[in-house]
Amino acid sequence: MRFEEYVNDHFDALNETEKLIVDFILKNRLDVVQMSISELAQKCLVSKSSVFRFSKKIGLDGFNQLKFVLRDEQGTIRQEPQTNFLEATTQAVTNATQQFQSLKMNDIYASLHKANDIYIYSTGWEQEIISEQLQRNFFLAGEKVYVLPAAVDELNMALQRMKPDDLLMVISYSGNNKQLLKSIKKAVIHGISTVSFTPFNQNSLAEMCRYNLYYSVVEKKVSNVKDVEIFFTGLYVLNDLLVMGYSDYLKNK
């Protein structure tokens, strides 16, 4: 299991300090393998106990296992597949467009239009960036949208004040985060309209939400560590399609 997978599985529980540790490790993983816990703490400007708690919080036994995971990645991460990246990116755009055009979007547009408040919740740092872009797009379309921090506690707090005439959009890569699913179940029980954004694979989040939008990603090796990075091409396209389609819906009403 890769370091990113440990982080993504527990991302909602991380505080800002721990996210800074994640950022440093991602940018310096080769160096971190050679560091002591004191050296990493000093580089991140945090305490040794903060590094230890972070290691435990993402499901590891401690700092030594964290280094083992990073070291193991260097020798076991798969070789870069022979892929035409431009073709894969173009296909991701095509997939997002085709599935979008196949949906009965007027039901989603109507739910957006009648919603008293609209919220966006996302899991993972890339998804957070995309949710903020979606918020901006809706603002340009004349709709006020609230972006929630990527922490389940924040989502649960927001759910306490949400009403059945509100709408919650959820952006996820795996669609199977257990903590997230518990929260979404609360939203469904209280009659809150829900829209999922997930990849084209079977996942519990899509099954639970009222409306579903799907996207494709592109994988590419981006560093000497032989690490594979996820490019959320289809999701960016999906955001624009949703907002532009909604703008046409409002114009034609």
Note the pLDDT tens digit of each residue in 146-155. Answer: 999 888 888 9
C-beta neighbour count of 214 within 10 angstroms: 20
Residue 76 is predicted with a pLDDT of 45
What percentage of the chain has pLDDT greater than the value 90?
53
Residue 95 is predicted with a pLDDT of 86
Residue 225 is predicted with a pLDDT of 57
The identity of residue 233, as a single letter, is T
Query: What is the average pLDDT across 79-102?
Result: 80
Q: In CATH, what is the architecture of 85-252?
A: 3-Layer(aba) Sandwich (3.40)
pLDDT at residue 83 is higher than 60? yes
Min mean pLDDT across 58-67, 153-162, 220-229 is at: 220-229
pTM for the whole thing?
Answer: 0.68
Q: Which of 233, 231, 224, 218 is nearest to 27 (CA)?
A: 224
pLDDT at residue 227 is higher than 70? no
pLDDT at residue 79 is higher than 60? no
The identity of residue 173, as a single letter, is Y
Q: In CATH, what is the architecture of 3-76?
A: Orthogonal Bundle (1.10)
pLDDT at residue 1 is higher than 50? yes
CATH 1.10.10.10 range(s) for the chain read 3-76
3-state SS assignment for residue 167:
strand
CATH 3.40.50.10490 range(s) for the chain read 85-252
pLDDT at residue 16 is higher than 80? yes
Residue 78 is predicted with a pLDDT of 44
Are 246 and 109 contacting, i.e. CB atoms less than 8 angstroms apart?
yes
Are 54 and 62 contacting, i.e. CB atoms less than 8 angstroms apart?
no
Are 137 and 240 contacting, i.e. CB atoms less than 8 angstroms apart?
yes
Min mean pLDDT across 54-68, 70-84, 120-134 is at: 70-84
What is the per-residue pLDDT across 154-182, written as a single tens digit (0 to 9) for each? Answer: 899 999 999 999 999 999 988 888 889 99
Confidence of residue 121 (pLDDT cuts 50, 70, 90): very high
Looking at mean pLDDT, say which of 8-12, 147-151, 234-238 comes out highest.
234-238
Residue 223 is predicted with a pLDDT of 66
DSSP 8-state class, residue 79: P
